[in-house]
Chain A
Amino acid sequence: MTTKTARPAALDHTLTLNVPFETPRQALIASQVLQPDPILKPQDFAVSYAAQGPCLEARFCGRDARVLRVGVSSVIDSLKTIIESLDELDQTGPSSTEASM
Chain B
Amino acid sequence: MVDLNTVSPKDPAKRYYLALGLEGSANKLGVGIIKHPFLPETGAAAKDNSHDCHVEILANIRDTYVTPPGEGFLPRDTARHHRNWCVRLIKRALLEAGVRDACAELDVICFTRGPGMGAPLHSVALVARTCSLMWQVPLVGVNHCVGHIEMGREITKAKNPVVLYVSGGNTQVIAYSDHRYRIFGETLDVAVGNCLDRFARTLKIPNAPSPGYNIEQLASQCKNKETLVELPYTVKGMDLSMSGILAYIDSLAKDLFRGNKANKVLFDKKTGNTKVTVEDLCYSLQENLFAMLVEITERAMAHVNADQVLIVGGVGSNARLQEMMALMCHDRARGRVHATDERFCIDNGVMIAQAGLLQYRMGNYVKDLSETVVTQKFRTDEVYVSWRN
Please give the residue numbers on chain A whose beta carbons come within 8 Å of chain B beta carbons, in ascending order.
29-30, 32-33, 35-38, 77-78, 80-82, 84-86, 88-90, 92-94, 101
Chain A min CB distance to B73 (Å): 18
Chain A min CB distance to B300 (Å): 37
Tell me, in angstroms, the Cα distance from A84 to B99 when the chains sit together.
Answer: 19
Contact (Cβ within 8 A) A80 B373: no
Most buried by A among B94, B100, B122: B122
Contact (Cβ within 8 A) B373 A37: yes
**Which residues on the A side are within 8 Å of B131 (C-beta)?**
85, 89
- Closest B residue to A33 by beta carbon equals B129
Please give the residue numbers on chain B whose beta carbons come within 8 Å of chain A beta carbons, in ascending order.
80, 83, 86-88, 90-91, 94, 99-103, 122-123, 126-127, 129-131, 133-136, 369-370, 372-373
- Closest A residue to B99 by beta carbon equals A92
Question: Known contacts A89-B134, A93-B135, A101-B133; can you find 16 more A-B pairs with CB under 8 A?
Answer: A29-B134, A30-B130, A32-B129, A33-B130, A33-B133, A33-B369, A77-B83, A81-B127, A81-B130, A86-B130, A86-B134, A89-B87, A92-B99, A93-B101, A93-B134, A94-B136
A interface, over-half SS: helix
Of the A-B pairs whose beta carbons lie under 8 Å apart in the complex, a sample of 5, sorted by A's number, is: A29-B134, A33-B126, A36-B369, A85-B127, A92-B102
Chain A min CB distance to B197 (Å): 27
Chain B min CB distance to A95 (Å): 10
Contact (Cβ within 8 A) A92 B101: yes
Contact (Cβ within 8 A) B134 A90: yes
**Candidates A35, A90, A92, A94; contact of B369 at CB < 8 Å:** A35
Tell me, in angstroms, the Cα distance from A97 to B80 when the chains sit together.
Answer: 30
- Closest B residue to A94 by beta carbon equals B103
**Which residues on the A side are within 8 Å of B369 (C-beta)?**
32-33, 35-36
Tell me, in angstroms, the Cα distance from A84 to B80 when the chains sit together.
Answer: 14
Most buried by B among A29, A93, A94: A93
**Which residues on the B side are within 8 Å of A88 (C-beta)?**
87-88, 91
Most buried by A among B83, B123, B134, B369: B134
Top 4 A-B residue pairs of the complex, sorted by shortest distance between their CB atoms? A85-B130, A93-B103, A92-B102, A33-B129
Tell me, in angstroms, the Cα distance from A85 to B102 when the chains sit together.
Answer: 13
- Closest B residue to A100 by beta carbon equals B136
Chain A min CB distance to B317 (Å): 30
**Candidates A32, A35, A81; contact of B123 at CB < 8 Å:** A81
**Which residues on the A side are within 8 Å of B133 (C-beta)?**
29, 32-33, 101
Contact (Cβ within 8 A) B103 A85: no
**Which residues on the A side are within 8 Å of B101 (C-beta)?**
92-93
**Which residues on the A side are within 8 Å of B135 (C-beta)?**
92-93
Tell me, in angstroms, the Cα distance from A29 to B369 when the chains sit together.
Answer: 11
